[in-house]
Copies of this chain bind each other. A is one copy, B any other.
């Protein structure tokens, strides 16, 4: 805590390798240090933004995890994604006036706030930053599209396997243990994400446990046979 302002600097941040482009020059890094205008802590259950909020910022996760969801007037909702440190939130507000979704912390978390207008401004001088924005948006699009395939074409068991494999891969990319970790979301949230009921989630978990592909106790998960899960996921 000896130098608080330091902590706002991307150039000093261990997560920068995940949310910023690689290969920035020292000068560029200095410019980019002005990108993050704010850091925000959120308690479990708190939302960074709600469906319909005016959108000005995007957010990168420093630690913790989030769900993004979209709601229907009648109360039904769909969880669109779970998000790990280094991933971006609020992308559905880029290029539009309002967020179409909301982002809620699944545990005590912290995000870096970047005004999108700032991002655009810096991008004019730093080509790799402009490229990076497209990369981030592309990631969002292709993710959603893969999720569409999952929801539209797979069985409950295949969906769960997909979910595990995807989580495992993303954790792996971030240097987190890819085969043993605590889930930050409940069964109901997993169900919403995969378009199945909570009881089905539970049953599939039991089935996968019996088959010794996973081991799960409460939220603590061990992936015993990634290979097999991968095969089920298709």
Contact = CB atoms under 8 A, between A and B. Distances in A.
A22 interface: no
Judged by DSSP, the binding face of A is helix
B152 A72 contact: no
B138 A95 contact: yes
Interface in A98-144: 100-101, 120, 124, 130-131, 133-142, 144
A132 to B, nearest CB: 8
A65 B91 CA distance: 28
A72 B153 contact: yes
A146 interface: yes
Given A74-B234, A77-B153, A144-B144, 8 more contacts: A95-B131, A95-B139, A100-B146, A140-B141, A148-B148, A148-B151, A151-B152, A152-B193
